[in-house]
Structure formats: C-alpha cells, structure tokens
Amino acid sequence: MILDLDVGNSLIKWQLRPRAHESIVLRNTAESETILAAQLRLIDSAGVQACRLASVRSDEETQTLLTLLGQLFPTARILQAQAGVDCHGVKNGYDVPSLLGLDRWLAILAVHCRAGAQNCLIIDLGTAITVDLLSAEGLHMGGYIAPGLALMRSQLTSSTRRVRYERCEGKICTTLLPPGRNTHDAVERGCLAMLYGFVACQVSLAKQLWGSDFQVFLTGGDAPVAAIELKKMQVPYEIARDLVFAGLDLACPV
C-alpha cells in the first residue's frame, strides 16, 4: 500500500491505495497533526510499503510529520517531494527553482501530463490563490500569488476596527454583484468581486500570450467560485481535483 499526504496551509489531506494509479481504498482530511496521528493509527502499518509527503509548511512542521510517519510506519519508505529544475518534460520557471511552492510544482507536473502539448492556465483557489502559466512545450512561465477568499475576509475583520459581521453561508452571486447595504453583503460581495476580477485578469493575460489556444484548470476549495466568472466569460475550463496527489506519482515514483 502507498500512503500519500498533501500537507496544505490549512488541512492535511491523505489517501491510501494499493499502488500508484490504482483505486483509492481510503482517504480523509485532518485539521491538525494530532487528528492525523489518530487517523493513521487505524491503518495496518505492516501493509504500508511507502509514504509520500508533499508539504508547504515550515521545515520544522514538515520534519515533525516525517518523524510521525517514521514512527507509525517503521518499515515503509518515506519520500518527501521537492520542487526541481525539471521533471517529466516540465522546466521550472522560477529564478531559484527550489523556492517554487511544492503544491504548485506538483500541480504543474500533473496538468502537463494530463493536457499534453497544450498551453495551460492553472488557478489554485485555496487559502491563497496561486496562478501558474505553462506553455505547450512544458516551460513554466511563472505565476502569481494572491490572498484567497477566506484570507481576504479574515484580514478585513482582523486588521480593521469596525468591520465586523456574522458570516452567513448563502448562495454565491452568479450575476452582477449589487452594492451591499449592510456590512455582511459589502464584505462578501467585495471579496467576490476581487476574486472575479483577478480571474478575469489571468484569462486576459493568457489570451495575450496564446490567443484562444490554452486550457484553464481550476483546483482548490473555491474552484467552483472561480468557475462562475469563467462561465460568464464563456471561457472553457476544467475543475481538476487532487492535482498534488497526481503530481506525487510523477515526482516520487515507487
């Protein structure tokens, strides 16, 4: 069995499967290392031959997780993915390749493998929104990083004195965003307008580079929100789940 872990800024996602590219037999998410440890202790350690870790957290936090995996699965190979200069026909576009976020690197590898010789715009909408442009030849052309929806909201409430409101989980506006007549609507619609504008900006840039010859891949928890703007713009897109796990297969073959 292979245990894969995608350690993000907010959540730790993991999955267990017999071998690479085979069906997943178990998957879950954990909000902390303590919860993760409790979940993983339920797995038969003798049946796990390899653990593959993709972490965007600090070196200290990542080492804690590596130590945990070594304790829980003492006979397994422990592999930690790293951003490289090139891999599977993709060339890292960062000035210092190792500084490219690992989640972005793995997503780029996965998209290139899936799309083949196609220009790609990759937008990951999680705690942060990251954008990467990938040419049909496999050249990573760089990208952008911006705060995600949740981060925009939290910064408004934590960095101002009077922007306070109880958030209501409601239907996302799919047409024009009318001005809010209360703080809740003003903040929620303002953050959505910023996200929609950011997505439209990225599509405009891709069109300048490639005309209509590109594919848009959305991933992350707020991908359906970005999809609303792309639909309005009549831009084809694909919501691609688990790109980090797919990239792990390429970066850390077992």
User: Which residues are CB-neighbours of 127 under 8 A, at least 6 positions away?
Assistant: 8, 9, 10, 148, 150, 151
What pTM does this model have? Answer: 0.89
User: Where is the domain boundary, 54, 80, 106?
Assistant: 80
Q: Is residue 92 part of a domain?
A: no
* 242 tagged catalytic: no
Residue 93 lies in a domain: no
Angle at 146 (CA atoms; ends 144, 151), nearest 5 degrees: 160
> Would you say residue 6 lies in a domain?
yes
* Chosen domain end from 34, 63, 80: 80
Whether residue 101 lies inside any domain: the answer is: no
Asked if residue 200 and residue 137 are part of one domain, the reply reads yes
User: Does residue 99 sit within a domain?
Assistant: no
Number of domains, the chain = 2
Q: How far apart are the first and last CA of the chain?
A: 11
Both 73 and 151 in one domain: the answer is: no
How does pLDDT run along the chain (254 residues), one tens digit per residue?
Answer: 999 999 998 899 999 998 766 788 899 999 999 999 999 999 999 899 999 999 999 999 999 999 999 999 999 999 999 999 999 999 999 999 999 999 999 999 999 999 988 999 999 999 899 999 999 999 999 999 999 988 888 877 776 766 755 666 655 555 557 887 888 788 888 889 999 999 999 999 999 999 999 999 999 999 999 999 999 999 999 999 889 999 999 999 98
Which of 103, 124, 222, 249 is flagged as catalytic? 103
Which ranges of 93-218 would DSSP assign to H, the alpha helix?
A: 102-115, 149-159, 183-210
Query: Domain boundary at 51, 80, 109, which?
Result: 80
Asked if residue 231 and residue 135 are part of one domain, the reply reads: yes
Residue-range definition of the domain harbouring residue 222: 117-243
Q: How many whole angstroms separate alpha carbon 119 and alpha carbon 135? A: 4
Q: Are 188 and 236 part of one and the same domain?
A: yes
Given a contact cutoff of 8 angstroms between Cβ atoms, the answer to whether 136 and 231 are in contact is no
